[in-house]
Structure 1
């Protein structure tokens, strides 16, 4: 039973929490002061003992843990990928701790949470998508705080929607036209050189994530792969499937390049989505020409020959490629203030991608293979996604499915090159290591021959 006691002009009540100290074996009591009379204090103690008997009780000591301390312990205990952990720590440091850090976990009220949610989503530097991600992280912390017996319930309501309905804003994007893709590739050629031309076409025809392209090593790219695969079991299986009687050129997604602890590191691809991607014959030829033109370990070296992931690709490469550039002279990357300047001829903006994300090339690749009617399992596998449920368990990508994707991408390319101007010439800031103009003419001739054969 609780017992009240007079403390000055006020009353305090103590009650048995039902717990025992792990070291001394003595009972643990809790208390609350500030009551005006004995009856009110006693009834409060009875309510707390009722909570103890019904497993609803949160001790005042446990509930007083500050959010900044709980968030630190919570982050140290999560088991997620490197990039996800980095994002969680960043959101906690920038948004959760500044608002809730000095508040006890047990004192966060639903009304205060709703006010913070409204204010957070209204910030111009947050945006709806990022805001929902922050709120989702906070909700997970609060759910775990309930399991840790720091609160009775989460302040985040999972049962009903409050406030007015706001339609989710979907990113505006256009259909990925191969003519636009080739213009992007030509712009990359003018700014970056031959690796840029092949980079853009590879992303559009494989749907690889940017960090996966940055980390593509020559031993995992056509023509070396699969014979060069260091994994013996994987190499034997791939040789049988992709280098047999009917070979299919392919690249292997084995890594992504990310910064970890201030060091550029090869990590597994996102969601551990290791996969093999067949490529159309025209792209296989370009990849072979590219890796034969340099001795870098990376298929797509930067302008100065180093790892592409060390550059701020969006700012230093993609924005110039997509947004266009007037004729100018630019200091060669990596040469410092005294470096020589190389002439840039200028190129047009690509309207569908000006101001847009590089990632839209990955989206566009899925549009292409969806449009060509390929099976869902083949499409999702190629994108590095897993299909949930029974369909994902029983389905499998067959060589026939892969060959169909390869053929449809080649067909799309051949139809495009027939529309190219007869006098198309590559523009590059430096001499090209291959005769790209001649290669394109051969592609046009091959497409003409294929069209005539189909017509007969």
Structure 2
């Protein structure tokens, strides 16, 4: 007689397939052969009962230790380099040391509760959340993928006791456009016209700093794109769609992994086209005309931003202000005037400008949510995300609104704007060098 054990056959790599794994027996558990068909039938009913009541899991003779299981789980992961590096750090520094003496089977809900209390007491709220989320992935895979446990030790209990509202998000300081303008003005003092354009690009496009900004290439900026798009299908479609609009393409991000520069897909594979207002297109044209290198934004010394200590040498003086400085005679030290601090940005990361970009679009009140989220590189969940799409009319409204914000709140308010660094070439497309591909490219599924 045969019965299904509730498990599936494994492929050559040890991963479950869709083929059921059957157990069989020609005798009872004590080794004596079945005396008749009825005895075998009753034995089979008992095995089916084990399956229904989840008593059928094979228990290994040598229980798997947590250290070995974590190494196996991590080795079979298919994540980006950055995610692998982050997960490895959390596993090595917190999870492995705590569970070093445990086997996968031995962990009970009480043991997990003790671990959760230990983590939340020792680490920050955000780090604790990430650690516990990673441990949950380990336990879920131990149950579903590797069949090492019957169920996860992580049990979500209903709330008990006095209700206390949980702070789900940090309240941001109000950031008026005057503060953003001061950031851009300071950036111009530190970094020239490149800094001025860099700040306004984040604020009016919502591009993710630093990766997507570092990885923005000349050919994907609005003065050249979509004519410079290497994919013919994407280029033809974009040329039809953006005949009367300026647009830039987010195609890559750059970061350092294992001490090497990497050119990779943007976060969450969020390739996207961003329509931009005319004033920003003009800024990009002037900025790109000031140099002939492949990256859109360069350091003060004309090198890729990826190799700089951006926070120390650029962002902190821009955000916190600095005293007047004269040029140094012995090394690359450029003169700059005194810069005021921007109180609204005190302690903030440059990523705050991306949040400002989202809030500014929300202020319009008539730009559909799907268009705003798509611009930020997000996907709407559920039915709304499945059936919604960004239309040209929505993108035209975004351009109209953002151009109006610039003209009314910056130019119309009499805020300072710098002169263009040099005349813009007439034929920008033909003047553009080929797209840069000098960094190793990592492709992901």
TM interval, short-chain normalised = 0.7 to 0.9
Alignment correspondent of 1:232: 232
Distance change in 2, residues 1:60/1:396 (3 Å): closer
- The Cα offsets for residues 191-250 of structure 1, whole Å up to 9 and x where unpaired, read as 1221111000000000010111110000000201111111111111111111x2xx2111
Alignment correspondent of 1:440: none
Provide the rounded CA distance (Å) in 2 between the counterparts of 1:203 and 1:53: 56
Provide the rounded CA distance (Å) in 1 between the counterparts of 2:178 and 2:62: 61
Alignment correspondent of 2:219: 219
Alignment correspondent of 2:250: 253
Provide the rounded CA distance (Å) in 2 between the counterparts of 1:62 and 1:414: 74
Alignment correspondent of 2:427: none
TM-score (norm 1): 0.76
- The answer to whether the 8 Å contact 1:195/1:290 transfers is yes
Tell me by how many angstroms 1:161 deviates: 4.5
- The answer to whether the 8 Å contact 2:289/2:422 transfers is no
Root-mean-square deviation (Å): 3.2
Tell me by how many angstroms 1:85 deviates: 2.8
- The answer to whether the 8 Å contact 2:183/2:199 transfers is yes
Q: Larger relative contact order (C-alpha < 8 A, sep ≥ 6)? A: 2
Alignment correspondent of 2:268: 271
Distance change in 2, residues 1:317/1:62 (3 Å): farther
Distance change in 2, residues 1:388/1:170 (3 Å): closer
* Partner SS state of residue 271, structure 1: helix
TM-score (norm 2): 0.78
Tell me by how many angstroms 1:331 deviates: 6.2
Contiguous gaps of at least 5 residues in structure 1: 1-16, 28-49, 333-337, 437-456
Provide the rounded CA distance (Å) in 2 between the counterparts of 1:54 and 1:392: 39
Alignment correspondent of 1:452: none
- The answer to whether the 8 Å contact 2:54/2:150 transfers is no
Alignment correspondent of 1:360: 352
- The answer to whether the 8 Å contact 1:57/1:152 transfers is no
Tell me by how many angstroms 1:57 deviates: 5.6
Alignment correspondent of 2:428: none
- The answer to whether the 8 Å contact 1:319/1:355 transfers is no
Distance change in 2, residues 1:238/1:205 (3 Å): same
Tell me by how many angstroms 1:183 deviates: 0.7
Contiguous gaps of at least 5 residues in structure 2: 11-22, 26-48, 425-445
Alignment correspondent of 2:156: 158
Distance change in 2, residues 1:104/1:51 (3 Å): farther
Tell me by how many angstroms 1:287 deviates: 0.4
Alignment correspondent of 1:407: 400
Alignment correspondent of 1:290: 287
* Partner SS state of residue 87, structure 1: helix
Residue of structure 1 aligned with 2:126, choices 126, 129, 134:
129
- The answer to whether the 8 Å contact 2:143/2:152 transfers is yes
Bigger Rg over Cα:
1
Provide the rounded CA distance (Å) in 2 between the counterparts of 1:254 and 1:317: 25
- The answer to whether the 8 Å contact 1:63/1:107 transfers is no
Provide the rounded CA distance (Å) in 1 between the counterparts of 2:373 and 2:61: 46
Alignment of 1:420-439 (within 5 A): 420=414, 424=416, 426=418, 433-434=421-422
Provide the rounded CA distance (Å) in 1 between the counterparts of 2:343 and 2:220: 34
Q: How many residues align?
A: 381
